[in-house]
Amino acid sequence: MLIIACGALAREINALVAANGWQQVRLQCLPADLHNHPERIAGAVQDKLGEVGRTGERVFVAYADCGTGGRLDQVLREHGVERLPGAHCYEFYAGERVFAELAAAEPGTFYLTDFLARHFDRLVMRELGIDRHPQLASMYFGHYRRLVYLAQREDPALLQAAERAAEQLGLAFEYRHTGYGDLQVSLVRLIEGEEQCPN
């Protein structure tokens, strides 16, 4: 089985593969900075599916919709391929119900995962130009009220990085340890279900 994944999920998927001993799984990642360019995701996945279409492997795409506005689902339907549930990684990490509660309690919420906490300075501060033009922070984040860190692992360094990110953006901080959420549920269902299917 081949998993085509967002590079932002590479560490977590590799951890799940190792923890479960899934030796029949191969992982290929697309660049994590597609996170900042959702209009490019469907095309990148389409290209990758075209490359692997002749291998005969079963394929799973480890993306949610991720801001593609349904374009990713159109590509996946053409290839008969499944993806992760939900609108984005924040939803599948937190779970649909918890994420809905967080969003309803404060619509002006900016979310971090372990990956985004680790790479906040590069993906947010530098990519958006805030490091060079601090006034841009209020333009990008003026309608946000809090930052919620959805943590996959309990890591004091990442917690500190997330708290610092909230401080840099002038947002209230909230911590939620989610673990791997529906990422783990989806991969266990898919891969262990595949193992139980007759040849």
- For the chain, the average pLDDT equals 93
What's the rounded mean pLDDT across residues 183-197? 79
Residues 25 and 39 in one domain: yes
What's the number of domains the chain is made of? 2
CB 128 within 8 A of CB 164: no
Query: H or E element: which one contains 156?
Result: helix 156-169
Residues 172 and 185 in one domain: no
Give the C-alpha separation, 162 to 195, whole Å. Answer: 38
Give the C-alpha separation, 127 to 133, whole Å. Answer: 11
Give the C-alpha separation, 199 to 182, whole Å. Answer: 27
Residues 133 and 155 in one domain: yes
Measured in whole angstroms, the distance separating CA 163 from the mean position of its chain's CA atoms is: 20
In this prediction, residue 117 has a pLDDT band, given cuts at 50, 70 and 90, of very high
Tens digit of each residue's pLDDT (9 = 90 or more) over 156-178: 999 999 999 999 999 999 999 99
In this prediction, residue 147 has a pLDDT band, given cuts at 50, 70 and 90, of very high
Contacts of 62 (CB under 8 A, 6+ apart): 3, 4, 5, 6, 9, 13, 83, 84, 183, 187
Cut 0.85: pTM above it: yes
Query: What is the domain extent for residue 43?
Result: 2-87+180-196
Residues 30 and 65 in one domain: yes
How would you class 87 by CB atoms within 10 Å of its CB: exposed for 0-12, middle for 13-18, buried for 19 or more? middle
Which pLDDT value is given to residue 194?
A: 59
More confident: 33 or 42? 42
